[in-house]
Amino acid sequence: MYSDSPEFILIFMPLIYLLLGIILTIVSNVSKNNILKKMEIYTSTTNGTLTKWNHHVSTHSSGATGWYPVFEYDVNGQHYVREENISRTKRGESPVAVVIHYNPSKPHEFYSNSELYFKRSKIFMIAGIGFIAFSILTFVIIAKFI
C-alpha cells in the first residue's frame, strides 16, 4: 500500500477521525477536572453584579471571538472588576445580580456559573464520541469495500 493509493487514503481518514475524537474526549476530561478543582479551591462566595459585556474579536483562527461578562464584587473591603474567561455567543443582560465563587486566598480568581464550564466540557465530550463513532462506522464501511 502506497501513501497515494486510494486504499491508504480510505484507511487513513477513519484514523484521523479517531484521533480527533480522542483529542476532543481528552479536552473534555481536562476541562471537567479543571472546574472540579476550581470548585474545591474557590470555596468562598459573595454577591456580585454582572455589570457589562465586552466583545473580543480574535485575530487568530484558533482564538475565541465572543462576548465576555464583566463582574464586580467586594471581598474584605476590596472592590474587584473582573472579566470571566469563558465567552458566550450572544451578549446577555446587564446589570444582573449573581453569586461569585472565589478563591479565599486569591479573591481575584473567581467563577460565576459552574454550569457554563460543565456545558463546555459536555460539548467536547459529545463531539469526541461522535468523531470516534464516525471513525468506526467509516472504517467498517471501507473494510467492506476493500
H helical segments located in the chain: 6-41, 114-145
pLDDT digits (tens, 9 = 90+) for 5-43: 666 677 788 889 999 999 999 999 998 898 888 888 999
CA–CA–CA angle 46, 51, 54 (5° rounding): 120
Cβ-contact 64, 87 below 8 angstroms = yes
What are the sequence ranges of the domains in the chain? 17-145
pLDDT digits (tens, 9 = 90+) for 41-94: 999 999 999 999 999 886 665 566 888 899 999 999 999 999 988 778 888 888
Cβ-contact 116, 101 below 8 angstroms = no
